[in-house]
Amino acid sequence: MLRFLLKLHRSSIASGTKEILHNLAAVMTARGHLEQAETYYRRTLGIQEKLFGEEDPGVALTRNNLGSLLIRAGGPGEAVPLLESTIRILEKSLMPGHPHLAFARNNLAKAKLPL
């Protein structure tokens, strides 16, 4: 019982931490601090993958945000695999015309545009 409670406590702390980091990433992106935002998105992604697994739709949305940031920061090549996995995951869990899926497809198209 104690082990279960400890595990539950750790996951609730990790869940709260990922929310804070994700919000910090969004603020840093809005302010143009792209390197800091990338760090926060990557930390959020690591926590989410441990908590929910790599195929979770919430994880996919964070990948989409990171991919969008990488495009803006001049790293579209690195964004492509993130966005492709985002689309693959979201296609399994959302309706074809869902806005999250449309945003991910739009980001992938931007990442693949010639410079």
What digits encode the pLDDT tens for the residues 68-104?
A: 999 999 999 999 999 999 999 999 999 989 999 999 9
Identify residue 24 by its one-letter amino acid code.
L
Q: Output the CA angle 63-69-70, nearest 5 degrees.
A: 90
Q: What integer pLDDT is reported at residue 19 of this predicted model?
A: 84
The residue with greater pLDDT, 64 or 2, is 64
Instruction: Kindly list the structural domains of the chain, giving each domain's residue range(s) and its CATH number in brackets, ordered by start.
Output: 2-112 (1.25.40.10)
Q: What average pLDDT does the segment 23-40 reach?
A: 94
Band of pLDDT at residue 10, cut at 50, 70 and 90? low
Band of pLDDT at residue 17, cut at 50, 70 and 90? confident
Give the separation between CA 28 and CA 13, rounded to whole angstroms: 22
| pLDDT at residue 8 is higher than 50 | no
Residue 22: Cβ within 10 Å count: 21
Q: Do the beta carbons of residue 48 and residue 62 sit within 8 Å?
A: yes
The residue with greater pLDDT, 58 or 16, is 58
